[in-house]
Amino acid sequence: MSRDVHVIDHPLVQHKLTLMRRKDTSTKSFRELVHELSALLAYEITREMPMHEIEIETPLEKMKSRVIDGKKVVLASILRAGNGFLDGMLQVIPGARVGHIGLYRDPATLKAVEYYFKMPHDMHERDVIVLDPMLATGNSAVAAVDRLKQTKPRSIRFVCLVTCPEGIKTFHDAHPDVPIYTPAVDRGLNEHGYIVPGLGDAGDRIFGTK
């Protein structure tokens, strides 16, 4: 199957990501940048969504014009850092529904354990965009998509800010059919499971908790 990785190389995206990576970027700036960047990412991710024609009437005449197929898109945020993407994405896809997936890592087994899962109805008619800024070990992303697939959505895409070869491999070994959209594929993981050079702990930087 496809194992697609779309690296979003747009200059505005790359410029904003560079500013976010800097360790002296404040919480306020980081949050503003993640907001701006996620709107740009939403634009790229939705580029190939299926469309169909409907008949409308302009002030001058009738015409056929295109709209996105199916029910509204679902933004599925992996708590908590995924929430940082929501406002920017909703600016571009204002009708989207929002689902949440809460996972924690069991310290004994190191496996992802679900503590919260809430999605809209009729998932089989919806396209899901999974939000998690850092695709690092890939374990929580795999668990989130495992769970999402049980709801049988029409399609799933995964979006992050930064990933690395280990995260991509783990994710695509489990879910080769789910394309990854990312502005950056970094060198790798350090011994604590952080992406290097990365940008640190995305949740802490978005919410100012460190």
The residues that are catalytic are 105, 109, 201, 204
Shortest separation between residue 141's beta carbon and ligand URA, angstroms: 10
Query: Rounded distance, CA 146 to CA 142, Å?
Result: 6
CA distances to 105, 133, 135, 203 from 140, rounded to whole Å, are 8, 12, 9, 14
Phi, psi of 135 (to 5 degrees): -95, 90
Q: Are strands 97-105 and 74-78 parallel, antiparallel or unpaired?
A: parallel
Closest CA to 143 of 182, 107, 115: 115
| DSSP summary character for residue 185 | B
DSSP H or E run through 41 = helix 27-45
Q: How far is the CB of 188 from ligand URA (least distance, A)?
A: 11
Residue 202 lies near ligand URA (rule: CB under 6 A): yes
- Using CB under 6 A as the binding rule, the residues of this chain from 79 to 118 that contact ligand URA are 81
Q: Which of 75, 131, 159, 195 binds ligand URA (CB under 6 A)?
A: 195
Span interacting with ligand URA, options 7-15, 65-73, 113-121, 198-206, rule CB under 6 A:
198-206
Q: Return the residue of 134, 156, 178, 180 that touches ligand URA, per CB under 6 A.
A: 134
Interactions with ligand URA, residue window 135-154 (CB under 6 A): 136
Q: Which stretch binds ligand URA (CB under 6 A): 25-33, 47-55, 61-69, 199-207?
A: 199-207
Q: Among residues 43, 117, 194, 207, which is the contact residue for ligand URA, using CB under 6 A?
A: 194
Nearer to ligand URA, 140 or 151 (CB): 140
- Minimum CB separation from ligand URA for residue 1, in Å? 26
Rounded Cα distance between 35 and 39, Å, is: 7
d(CA 143, CA 138): 9
